[in-house]
Amino acid sequence: MEEWLIWTISGGVMIVLELLIPGMITIFIGLAAILTGLAIKFGYLNDTTSIIVTFIVATLFFLVVIRTFFLRFYKGDTSIHNVDEQDEMKGSIVVVDEDIEPYKEGRVHYRGTTWQARSDSEILKNQKAIIIRLEGNTIIVKPIEEQ
């Protein structure tokens, strides 16, 4: 198989891969490979060094210049969510699995598992409590006042 055809087919495969691996990277590598293949076909590139340098320069140009230009218009579906588990836990209602007494840790049930828990006041088993904060791997809770 001729060298230009290998470069062109490889570029086409990279462009198709962009559909499977979105990110606007493989499409530009594919375009650089197609450009390199066409330059070989029309006689602009003859030796291996110039072929590799052309591919690298074209890839960098497409990725740095063209991709940056397109990313201004295509923002994607990215969003930043709160990843601080302390903020997520704070205010949640938990059920006490083991009695909690002042200066004696007990256990609470939170999101399908039990956690060590501590409180300034006594909270008996099966009572509900509210999470105040997380200290290391211990949840600090306070009793929910019955109304």
Supply the pLDDT for residue 96: 94
Q: Which residue, chain included where needed, has tokens 């295509």?
A: 74
Does the global pTM surpass 0.75?
Answer: no
Q: How far apart are CA 102 and CA 107, in angstroms?
A: 13
Structural domains of the chain sorted by starting position, each given as residue range(s) with its CATH number in brackets: 3-73 (no CATH), 86-143 (2.40.50.140)
Supply the pLDDT for residue 74: 74
Supply the pLDDT for residue 147: 31
- Regions of the chain short of the pLDDT cut 70: 75-86, 146-147
Supply the pLDDT for residue 6: 95
Supply the pLDDT for residue 82: 62
- The DSSP line for 35-87 is HHHHHHHTTS--SHHHHHHHHHHHHHHIIIIIHHHHHHH---S-------HHH
